[in-house]
Amino acid sequence: MLDLTLYLVTDSGMTQRHGLDATVRGAVAGGASVVQLRDPDASDDEFVALGRLVLGALRSSGVPLLLNDRVHLVEAVGAQGAHVGQSDLDPVEARKILDRGVQGGAIGDDAPRPYLGLSCTNLEQVEAAERLPAGTVDYLGLGPGWATRTKADHKEPLGVEGITRLAGAATLPTVAIGGIDVERAGLLRGCGTDGIAVVSAICATEDPESAARSLREVWT
């Protein structure tokens, strides 16, 4: 079962202060339960190298690494799954690619089935996700809760009310994302999601470990 309590999405620009691997190590030490590698500007080769770097930082932590969008690279990185958006690869096709990696022995014969997450920004998308064949996706990312500078083309912010509405319509596990900081994490507590996902609230801070710990304490 994927622990969505505190879901870190990386940003290579924001992590330059400490380095990507040190930022991830700090976040996990502070309580991050999932790490998603996101770098839309990286080439596939660069992305694989980043993925392996993060995987090394996560070694022995038990925290899974998911790849943003690049489903086809999960096998090469050795990651535990992927996350796709509404304009990315169709989730049914993404699931087929992930499962082929396991069946082919490329990910490891004894490896658990890879995780797959799907972003939803409105009620129609949540309802469509719920109609997907059972086992296609493992969780939904709901947002954006608030405006965020990490994704310039984001949809209209949902706020606490909107996140609560979408979470209430989902039977799949959910995680809220978009402009979440410590204060907003407190506002979202009780909204019905299984956790919160953050980028700058950890990646852009002076002390990623302390930032992660504060977020987790507020949420739990």
Is the peptide bond prior to 40 cis by the omega test (within 30 degrees of 0)? no
Read off the pLDDT band of 1 (50, 70, 90): confident
Give the Cα separation of 27 and 209 in Å (integer).
5
Residue 107 in tokens: 């990910």
Give the tens place of pLDDT for each residue, 116-140. 999 999 999 999 999 999 999 999 9
Residue 71 in tokens: 């489903």
Q: Which of 151, 184, 213, 216 is catalytic?
A: 151
With a CB cutoff of 8 Å and minimum separation 6, the contacts of 188 are: 145, 160, 163, 176, 180, 196, 219
Average pLDDT value for residue range 86-110: 81
Residue 87 in tokens: 């304009």
Give the Cα separation of 43 and 34 in Å (integer).
23
User: On the CB side of 119, how many CA atoms lie within 13 Å of its CA?
Assistant: 20
pLDDT at 171: 98
Angle between helices 20-30 and 44-58 (to 10 degrees): 40
The pTM score is 0.94
Q: Does 115 or 103 have the greater pLDDT score?
A: 115
**DSSP string for 77-123:** HT-SEEEE-TTSS-HHHHHHHHHHHHHTTSS-TTPPPPEEEEEE-SH
Give the Cα separation of 50 and 57 in Å (integer).
11
Q: Which of 25, 119, 184, 213 is catalytic?
A: 119
Residue 175 CB neighbour total at 10 angstroms: 24
Give the tens place of pLDDT for each residue, 157-202. 999 999 999 999 999 999 999 999 999 999 999 999 999 999 999 9
For residue 205, which of 1, 23, 4, 10 has the smallest C-alpha distance?
A: 23
Q: Which of 12, 33, 38, 214 is catalytic?
A: 38
Q: Which domains are delineated in the chain?
A: 6-219 (3.20.20.70)
Please report which helix (H) or strand (E) contains residue 140, including its range: strand 139-142
- The neighbouring-strand residues paired with 120 are 142
96 catalytic per annotation = no
